[in-house]
A and B are shown apart, each in its own frame.
Chain A
Amino acid sequence: MSEFDQLYRELILDHYKNPRNHGLLEPADAQAEGQNPLCGDEITVSLRLGENDVVEEVGFDGRGCAISQAAMSMLGDLVKGKTAGEVATLPKEALLDELGIPLTPVRLKCAILGLGVLKLALHKARGTPLPEEWGTSSGGLVLD
């Protein structure tokens, strides 16, 4: 195993064990939940928005595999300071670059669950676009 890979793995484990932005915000300006039924991953995201709908604070709660929870932990810092519109168009590759390890299609869903929930929260609160790939079912995001 290369040291480079090892570094990424340790980073992911660190985010999993010590999640950043953990805990839901009350009150919040936007909130949504989602799940990945195949793995049983669940994530709820809450956001506080400032002037021009800039993301100021992110808080999440969830359970599931390390990839889903670590990716959500990393995502919080990635989107802070961005406008709702910028987050709505943030490509999943931006997050996958942060994660840094190759993922099989099954694990890819784990990794992008949090990003989808975040986009859904902004869609519900601010009407930002939500492309079909982030489709929703009964109000929450269900990746399948």
Chain B
Amino acid sequence: MAVSTKSTLDAARLRADFPVFEELVNGRPVAFLDSAASSQKPRQVLDAMVDFYEHSYANVHRGVYRLAERATAGYEGGRTKVASFLGAPSEREVIFTRSATEALNLVAYAWGLDNLGPSDVVVVTDLEHHSSFVPWQYVAGRTGAAFRAIPIDGSGELDLSALEELGNAGTIKVVAANYVSNTLGTVNPVQQIAEWAHDRGAIMVVDAAQAAPHRPIDVQALGCDFLAVSAHKMCGPSGIGALWGRRELLEEMAPFNLGGEMIRSVSMERTTWNELPYKFEAGTPAIAEAVGFGAAVDYLSEIGLDAIEAHERELVEYALGALSELPWIDTYGPPPERREGIVSLNVQGVHPHDVAQVLDWEGVAVRAGHHCTQPLMSKLGVAATVRASFYLYSIPEEVDRLVAGLHKAKQSLG
């Protein structure tokens, strides 16, 4: 393949993989600019799941019959693919969860409750999604640990000069940061933060829900200790996510959910835990979803994460360029080269929900609200923003429709 700094994916062609774009509203496909909330699904993923249900479905890890063996192979095959996608040293370190949120809760509860105490400090960031912010705030409260945040600067990037002062706040035990901000698209220097955390003996927990769909992930290169992803944001099904964790930490941790599958033996006197990863997978898991998750990472890998990132960056540059010519638009976040495919904005004097409503009338789907980042909204000094987010199937024409819709919102409401 030729090495190129330009986008090497053909979004117009890839759209043919996504049945949803055959749906027309007022004669046109929806300009779907809400992939940061959840992505659309390609036929390759849908077919893999239907095929699995039609030919290989049974419960996993239990039956001695052939169908159960095929189901287990499908489920574990999904794990192998996800482990490889994340650069995990071993697939035993990849735990399937319901979501990235559940993965982050797993760490906060199963690691946090047993390892934090009153003289400890939990560090998050001003950019955190509530799924990373709230579990740590809660577990810090339960254990008496202090709860602090790395602040942002004016462009919505983490101000690492504040780390030194944070380091003096007590014994830092855990640093939790998202890799990419779901509201601003900011790409955070998690590798650098992980080094800082490790220098202080702390663990580093990365919420990669908004990064894994858009850029290559290698947990070993990042140097983190835990990393959470969500399938539905990366062309996979909803209802399944994954947690990667360092084996030695996972081995030491108490279980999170209790029940079937996660045990080795159960008696009235004593129950012992299963080996990794099953210790953390109580109950019947999302089986076909694991197959779909595997198909999704295959799909993304075939296109190439570098190409996906480059394509989205071109769209962000195009969108920010067009928006910068409109003095009645406020945009938030860093320059295109330091963000993924997300543009948060406001039309001056018009409530973001009204902007989203007008855009919906024009067949443009965006998110308006606080994007589960209320602490960030308060730092930005706004109640809410309008967020347009791009993916591998997004095309410049959709940006044009967004900009035309914003003009309409300004005309009718401004």
Q: B175-183, B317-325, B349-357, B393-401: which one contacts chain A?
A: B349-357
Q: Which of B363-397 contact A (CB under 8 A)?
A: 369-370, 383-384
Contact: A67 with B361, CB < 8 Å?
A: no
Tell me if B26 counts as interface (CB < 8 A to partner A).
yes
Contact: A1 with B361, CB < 8 Å?
A: yes
The verdict on A40 contacting B383 (CB below 8 Å), with A1-B26, A9-B361, A13-B413 known, is: yes
Contact: A64 with B351, CB < 8 Å?
A: yes
**Pick from A9, A16, A40: contact of B384, CB under 8 Å:** A40
B contact residues around A107 at 8 Å (CB): 353, 357
B contact residues around A16 at 8 Å (CB): 413
Tell me if B412 counts as interface (CB < 8 A to partner A).
yes
Tell me if A28 counts as interface (CB < 8 A to partner B).
no
Bitwise, A40-65 to B at CB < 8 A (1) or not (0) is 10000000000000000000000011
Query: Which bucket holds chain B's interface residue count?
Result: 10 to 19
The verdict on A38 contacting B351 (CB below 8 Å), with A1-B26, A16-B413, A66-B413 known, is: no
Tell me if A78 counts as interface (CB < 8 A to partner B).
no
Rounded to whole Å, the gap between the CB of B379 and the closest CB of chain A is: 15
Tell me if A110 counts as interface (CB < 8 A to partner B).
yes
Contact: B354 with A38, CB < 8 Å?
A: no
Contact: A39 with B412, CB < 8 Å?
A: no
Tell me if A94 counts as interface (CB < 8 A to partner B).
no
**Chain A: interface secondary structure?**
helix
Contact: B361 with A38, CB < 8 Å?
A: no
Contact: A67 with B370, CB < 8 Å?
A: no
Query: In the complex, A66→B351 CA distance in Å?
Result: 7
Residue of A at shortest CB range from B350?
Answer: A66
Residue of B at shortest CB range from A13?
Answer: B412
Contact: B370 with A65, CB < 8 Å?
A: no
Residue of B at shortest CB range from A5?
Answer: B361
Contact: B354 with A67, CB < 8 Å?
A: yes
Contact: A66 with B361, CB < 8 Å?
A: no
Query: Which of A13, A40, A65, A67 has the most C-beta atoms of chain B within 10 angstroms of its own C-beta?
Result: A65
Query: Which of A66, A67, A110 has the most C-beta atoms of chain B within 10 angstroms of its own C-beta?
Result: A66
Contact: A110 with B353, CB < 8 Å?
A: yes
Q: List 14 A-B contacts (CB under 8 A).
A: A1-B26, A9-B361, A13-B412, A13-B413, A38-B370, A39-B369, A40-B384, A66-B351, A66-B357, A66-B413, A67-B354, A67-B357, A107-B353, A107-B357
Q: For the complex of A and B, list the 10 residue pairs with the smallest distance between their C-beta atoms, beginning with the closest.
A: A40-B383, A65-B351, A66-B354, A65-B353, A65-B354, A39-B353, A13-B412, A66-B413, A64-B351, A66-B351
